[in-house]
Amino acid sequence: MIYPIVDTPATNHTEKRESVMKKILALILACLTVCLPMMMTSCSENSTDLKDYDLTKYVSLGEYKGIEVTRKSITVDEDDVRAEVDKMLDSFAETVDLKEDDVLQLKDEVSVTYVGRIKGEYDGFTDGEEIANTDDKTDTFSIGYGNHIPGFEASYIGYHPGDQYSFDITFPDKYTINPKLSGVVVTFSGTVKSAKRNVQPEYTDAFVAEKTEFKTIAEYEANVLEELRAAADEQEMLDEITEVWQTVMDKCEVIKYPDAVVEARYKESMANFETTAKAYGMSVEDLAKAMYNMTNAEFESAMRTQCQQLVFEEMVLTMIIDREGISISDKEYSEGLAKYAEKNGSDDVQKFEEEYGADTIRESLLWDKVLMFLLERADVSEYTGTDEGTELAVK
């Protein structure tokens, strides 16, 4: 049977190093499934430590100062504040069972049975052919969370618990889970067995005073607005850094790759992916197919390419560090360590340092500093135009 589920296992193939890096590095250095293993110490041409290489033989370093970049402002409005308020209210919501006269709506959790049958004639299918069936069991999901093919979940809006239903869904034009179903119309019919809804509490000054550190709705929303604006400012900066770094990389050229370093990154990344596959009870081949619709050979090739790109970026960072004499002082390390621990929800700085390692944290801070160095020396202009035409005003 073929079910209309299109989600795949959520994965996180980063190691400890990337998890302690700030969002800056996560945005810039994130690869397909590549993580940054800790540098190992060696002193030969087969070393996996880039510090043992004369990188001028491997990379032609382009211009990295005065990079032109455009800042696009992120607007925060009342809708954004309301969305945050809804999240807070949802955290205190009470779950209630819906009755037969209740109308299903977005976010409701429903349990349904269904049978899916082909509607029309298609290559490889006949009209009325059954291609999905819950086999009298129930499929439980929350409407609008996107765990099924587009349009499937929303089709239940307007029905009631206990209703018999029937609706048509057209599978995506490029349905990677089963390409044969691409663009095929399927009629789903079944029963809404039950439904639940999270009912938010009444949003009042009294509720805010009881559940938050603020006394009134006005105070609480003013704080939400302030935090959203701070987050927007940070995102604007991250977008600038991303653009600067991409431009820097475009100006650099690989002469050759240090094969030992690439191979080390590749083996480490494949080992991480294999660990993730085992956690889901899957083989590497099956997970690669489910996540990327790749054969094992295609996935390994893509992984190696991404490892080469990662090493390329590491080499450029290392060369800039050496050329500019950038380093992390003990004070910068202590302050950065505290910020990393706070961002990762740890109130024990020493324990955080022991868990991730001082060398890893110091290198992450060093790379953060390089990226800020590049941004501070960039030529930043403010975006003032529209999608139809861009006008720039120098900041």
pLDDT tens readout for residues 100-109: 999 999 999 9
**pLDDT tens readout for residues 193-225:** 999 999 999 999 999 999 999 999 999 999 999
Work out the average pLDDT over 60-77: 93
pLDDT score recorded for residue 384: 59
**Among 1-5, 135-139, 320-324, which stretch is predicted with the lowest mean pLDDT?**
1-5
The matching CATH number, chosen from 3.40.50.150, 3.40.50.2300, 3.10.50.40, 1.10.510.10, for 94-199 is 3.10.50.40
**pLDDT tens readout for residues 79-90:** 999 999 999 999
In 10 A of CB 133, how many CB atoms? 16
Work out the average pLDDT over 159-179: 93
Q: 94-199: same fold as 16-64+251-394? A: no
Of residues 24 and 257, the one with the higher pLDDT is: 257
Give the rounded percent of residues in the chain with a pLDDT score beyond 90: 76
- From residue 74, alpha-carbon distances to 30, 315, 352, 371, 386 in Å are 23, 33, 33, 21, 14
> What residues have CB less than 8 Å from 295, skipping those under 6 apart?
285, 288, 289
**pLDDT tens readout for residues 47-62:** 888 989 999 999 999 9
pLDDT score recorded for residue 19: 35
Give the whole-angstrom CA distance, residue 139 versus residue 141: 7
**pLDDT tens readout for residues 321-335:** 999 999 999 999 999
Work out the average pLDDT over 353-368: 93
Give the whole-angstrom CA distance, residue 282 versus residue 288: 10
Domain ranges of the chain: 16-64+251-394, 94-199
* pLDDT for 158 beyond 50: yes
Give the whole-angstrom CA distance, residue 128 versus residue 119: 6
* pLDDT for 25 beyond 90: no
Q: Which CATH class is domain 16-64+251-394?
A: mainly alpha
Work out the average pLDDT over 178-198: 95
* pLDDT for 23 beyond 90: no
* pLDDT for 387 beyond 70: no
**Residue from 76, 57, 138, 145 nearest 108 by CA:** 145
Q: How confident is the model at residue 242 (pLDDT cuts 50, 70, 90)?
A: very high
pLDDT score recorded for residue 390: 37
Q: How confident is the model at residue 45 (pLDDT cuts 50, 70, 90)?
A: low
